[in-house]
Structure 1
Amino acid sequence: MTANEDQEMELEALRSIYEGDECFKEISPVSFQFRIGDLDGTKAFLLDVSWPEMYPETSPQMNLDAFFNNRISAETKELILSKLEEQVEANLGTAMMYTLFEWAKENQEALMENHKPVVTAVTSISSSDVTTAASTAKKREKKEQLTKAQKRRMVSRTDNKGELPRGWNWVDVIKHVSKTS
């Protein structure tokens, strides 16, 4: 089999295995994202994997550069990638995406045991800022949101200029009749 045939078969298998799984995302036919751990977990990470042209004969390209991983230190990222590279070397020449993903899920605790979340700068907020933010949020809440069906009805009522035709509601009809009588 050629590399492209192997890729097509593995792609079909991945699609059927991870159909409906929120941890797996197919970016393109040769690029994937796997989320290891719970979405709100502090030890979760997102693994980006891309297949080069000669995959599975050559190793896939893996990185942890996604924004989701910003709180993970560089040392932890290096450790995770080095452990995954060991698994890639052991499975070189075979379809390995499922194996890598499952291995990472099973070994998540070991991979993240030395993980200390990276803390970003936090600014202090005064109580007046909080009250103004709360009042603007309330103002935003009051804005009426139309459903898609309501928007469609509005569009279907308008003419090609975006104007409602005369008499589209009873108030408009009464105003017109009162002016003409």
Structure 2
Amino acid sequence: MTANEDQEMELEALRSIYEGDECFKEISPVSFQFRVGELEDSKAFILDITWPETYPETAPQISLEAFFNNRISAETKQLILAKLEEQVEANLGAAMMYTLFEWAKENQETLMENHKSIVTAVTLTSNSEVSEPATAAKKKEKKEQLTKAQKRRMINKTDHKGELPRGWNWVDVIKHVSGNG
């Protein structure tokens, strides 16, 4: 068989095996992504695999550069790629995609045992730290001081709840229109 016939047969097999599986994604007829682990799992990773023209006689290109893998350290990525390369060498010349995916699933814990999650999180400060500078700024600002007469007039304008009555600042329409005549 030619390389293209082998690729077509393997592609058909992958489509039937992983139909409806959210972990498998066909990017193109020669490029695939496979998620090892659950989305919520901190030890999950995505394999990007692309077939060269002469696949399966030559090794597929395996990458861990998907955005999903940003939380995995470079050392862990190198370990995963090295172990997958060993599997590729063992299966060279045969259809190996299913074998690689299943091997990665079975050995996820071993591959990720030295995994230290890279955290690029924003550090939160406590409310007391945030409010201290704000209160200092408030202390510096002086409130406008009202005289007793101004306070009395404000109280007389408001109702028993301390709110201004509806329409307190409305313009008398008739006076307004007759004055502008």
TM-score under structure 1 length normalisation: 0.68
- Following superposition, the deviation at residue 119 of structure 1 comes to 1.3
Gaps of 5+ in 1: 128-181
1:59 matched to 2:59? The reply is yes
Gaps of 5+ in 2: 128-181
For the pair shown, the structure with the greater C-alpha radius of gyration is 2
- Following superposition, the deviation at residue 122 of structure 1 comes to 1.3
Alignment of 1:11-90 (within 5 A): 11-90=11-90
- Following superposition, the deviation at residue 121 of structure 1 comes to 4.2
Give the partner amino acid of 2:67. Answer: F
- Following superposition, the deviation at residue 125 of structure 1 comes to 6.2
| Separation of aligned partners in 1, 2:39 and 2:119 | 18
Runs of 4+ off more than 2 Å: 123-127
**Percent same amino acid among aligned pairs?**
83
Instruction: Number of aligned residue pairs: give it.
Output: 127
Give the partner amino acid of 2:73. Answer: S
Which residue of structure 2 aligns with residue 98 of structure 1?
Answer: 98
- Following superposition, the deviation at residue 78 of structure 1 comes to 0.2
Deviation by residue 1:97-137 (Cα, 9 ceiling, x = unmatched):
0000000000000000000100114143676xxxxxxxxxx
Over the aligned positions, Cα root-mean-square deviation in angstroms equals: 1.1
TM-score under structure 2 length normalisation: 0.68
| Separation of aligned partners in 2, 1:43 and 1:84 | 17
Which residue of structure 1 aligns with residue 137 of structure 2?
Answer: none
2:58 match: secondary structure:
coil
Which residue of structure 2 aligns with residue 111 of structure 1?
Answer: 111
